[in-house]
Amino acid sequence: MKATKSILVVLFVLLMAQIASAYYCPSTGRWLSRDPLGEQGFQVMQVPQIPNPIQQQAVRWIERDPATLQQTANPYAFLGNKPIRQTDLLGMVGSVPVSLMEAIASGDVAQVEAILAGLSEDDAGYALAKAWLQKVAACDALHAAYDALKCVSCKACTTKEQAGKNALCLSTEIALRQAFINKKCDYCLAGSINGPGGSAKAAAGHEAQVAQLTVQLLFCTKQIGVLPSATPPSSP
Amino acid sequence: MTNQDAVLIEKLWNRLVGKNFIPAEFVKQIRWHGGHDMKNLSEESVLQLFEGRFLGDWHEPAFSFSELLAFYSVPDKNRRKEEIVGWVFASFVIADAVRHGATDWEMQFNLFLNGFLEVRGELDMYEATSIFERVFRGG
């Protein structure tokens, strides 16, 4: 019995490839022991993504984050104190002025423009501010475009052509509104961010409009097949 | 909007919000709820709509208040009482916009009804029937 157990242990060990100082099980594709480098290895991998100087051996910052030192007395400030609304996966935003992050978080175009005017192209935050302003302008343009359409339903349509025209208007409006939603415009326009319920509720309201317009588009599409044509077919 | 509509809104505001009704403050609330969709309607225009003296193009209120109806139709456990009064006002404006030919009920009915389903718990039967009568029979 004891011999059988020993053989099984030996077989188990033989089944695994020993790579470096950790055991790797080929059948499950998993390491059986932790990487001896541990978290230190993980942090060393992060170094090239972080602009601040770092001591490779000790894996510690050798200076405090300049963004927090310059902009606020709070060294723990993160994303303008809005960690729920904002994300910073690569840790790159820390070097962007906190005032810029706050202006973006509240959708304050004038403030972002004012901060941008004081930045040079090499400054951290310059590209972000510029990209954000472009996005706001694009969202504004989309909003103005679907506001200008003034589509109506097919209730009063008497011909195929009228129904077709309304269906075209509705499908254009739906496409523009969908682009507005997909671009997450409610998360950058001040009116949506600062309204009751915030961006999420504003976006849900816009989605409700799309649903309503889709119902009307389907009705128009149906009417195209039912209503007579304005120009009767010419006789042979 | 008629004086009768304004009285209904004021009574509702006093009961639900528990503050004195000031039209200018109410208009600010409405514009705040509307957010970006209300940017083409000034406070003065919304006040004119409330006081029944709006003489501009009804397409703009039709657009902004339709967006507002859609906004109020979103389920919200933390809905403010001001939003319930806002829904009543938005419904009245949309009814007026339909009468002016700027929109039609086919485009607005679901938004109106979904908003009603969201706020009905806060309205008594008299208020609810008065609103429906005003919206569908004219003011």
Contacts of B32 in chain A (CB under 8 A): 194-196
State the average pLDDT over residues B98-104.
Answer: 93
Residue in B with minimal Cα distance to A136: B36
| Position A39 pLDDT exceeds 90 | no
Domains in chain B: boundaries: 3-137
Residue B89 and residue B67 in contact, taking contact as beta carbons nearer than 8 Å: no
**φ, ψ of residue A23 in degrees (nearest 5):** -90, 135
Contact assignment for B76 to A201 by CB distance below 8 Å: yes
Residue in B with minimal Cα distance to A156: B104
**φ, ψ of residue A82 in degrees (nearest 5):** -125, 60
B111 → closest Cβ in A153, A196, A212:
A212
Mean pLDDT is lowest, of A28-42, A111-125, A207-221, for A28-42
State the average pLDDT over residues B126-134.
Answer: 93
| Residues A222-235 pLDDT 10s | 999 999 998 766 76
Question: Which one of B32, B33, B36 makes the best mutation probe of the A interface by having the most chain A beta carbons within 10 Å?
Answer: B36
Contacts of A106 in chain B (CB under 8 A): none
Contact assignment for B40 to A147 by CB distance below 8 Å: yes
Q: Which residues contact A236 (CB under 8 A, 6 or more apart)?
A: none
Question: Which one of B41, B85, B107 makes the best mutation probe of the A interface by having the most chain A beta carbons within 10 Å?
Answer: B107
pLDDT on residue B14: 95
Distances, alpha carbon B2 to alpha carbons A51, B50, B68, B83, B93, in Å: 64, 8, 21, 21, 11
| Position A24 pLDDT exceeds 60 | yes
> Whole-angstrom Cα distance, residue A196 to residue B85?
14
Domains in chain A: boundaries: 18-63, 65-137, 150-226
In one letter, which amino acid is A22?
Answer: A
